[in-house]
Amino acid sequence: MSDSASTQTTPLWLIFREFLLIGAVSFGGGIVAYERILLVDKRKWLTPDDFMATLAISQTMPGLNSVNLALLAGDRLRGFFGACVACVGLILPGGLFVLIAGVAYSEGADHPMMNILLAGIAAGATGLLASITYTIGDQHFRHMRSLSMIVATFVLMSVLKLSLVTVLLIMAPIGLFLYRPRKEEISSK
């Protein structure tokens, strides 16, 4: 990692403003794509390779991928405070949005018109969640190893109704065993 003068002096307000912008315009998801445009193309804060490495860590660690990515990018630019302003910028607009929507919901949840509107919105959101799951799972549904992991996880969670901690304690060791680094793969790289 290069500590060139330009990365040392990236102002905190600029990091905040850029992530605030993403947080405000990213209606409908796809935030990681917005972040890639910002970090790699627009400001060149990360090289494409650095971006992929950072994204990989964001996906490996728990938490929302887009938030983790903002944290790690902010950290690389300006350390702890860079991470803070990037994260706050990203979640501030949407946070205010949901709070306002939530207050309106609390006030009007009993109104019949509100209820039938929400029934349609909930059906639409179900379609969205299903399509995201289908798209992300696409490759995994076609391989026996990952498909059996998916099915086992679903059965433990939704059919046997075990707690999430229990499901992870059962599935994570199995997954790590199935996907353990193999000697031949490492040496062939």
The residues in 80-119 that bind another protein, with binding defined as CB under 8 A, are 80, 83, 87, 90-95, 97-99, 101-103, 105-106, 109, 113, 116-119
| Interaction of residue 37 with another protein, rule CB under 8 A | no
Span 125-144, contacts to another protein by CB under 8 A: 125-137, 140
| Interaction of residue 33 with another protein, rule CB under 8 A | no
Cβ proximity to another protein, 37 vs 125, nearer residue = 125
CB of 27 to another protein, least distance (A): 5
- Determine what percent of the chain falls in helix, strand and coil, rounding each to the nearest 5: 80, 0, 20
Classify 63 as helix, strand or coil: coil
Cα 167 to Cα 71, 150, 174, 180: the distances in Å are 28, 12, 11, 19
End-to-end alpha carbon distance in the chain: 22
Going by C-alpha positions, the residue among 150, 154, 131, 153 that lies closest to residue 141 is 150
* Interface with another protein: number of residues (CB under 8 A): 98
CB of 71 to another protein, least distance (A): 5
> Which residue in the set 13, 41, 47, 121 belongs to the binding site for another protein (CB under 8 A)?
121
> Which residue in the set 12, 14, 40, 171 belongs to the binding site for another protein (CB under 8 A)?
171
| Interaction of residue 47 with another protein, rule CB under 8 A | no
Say if residues 2 and 77 touch (Cβ distance below 8 Å). no
Identify residue 32 by its one-letter amino acid code: V
User: What's the rounded Cα separation, in Å, for the pair 137 and 142?
Assistant: 9
| Interaction of residue 4 with another protein, rule CB under 8 A | no
CB of 185 to another protein, least distance (A): 7
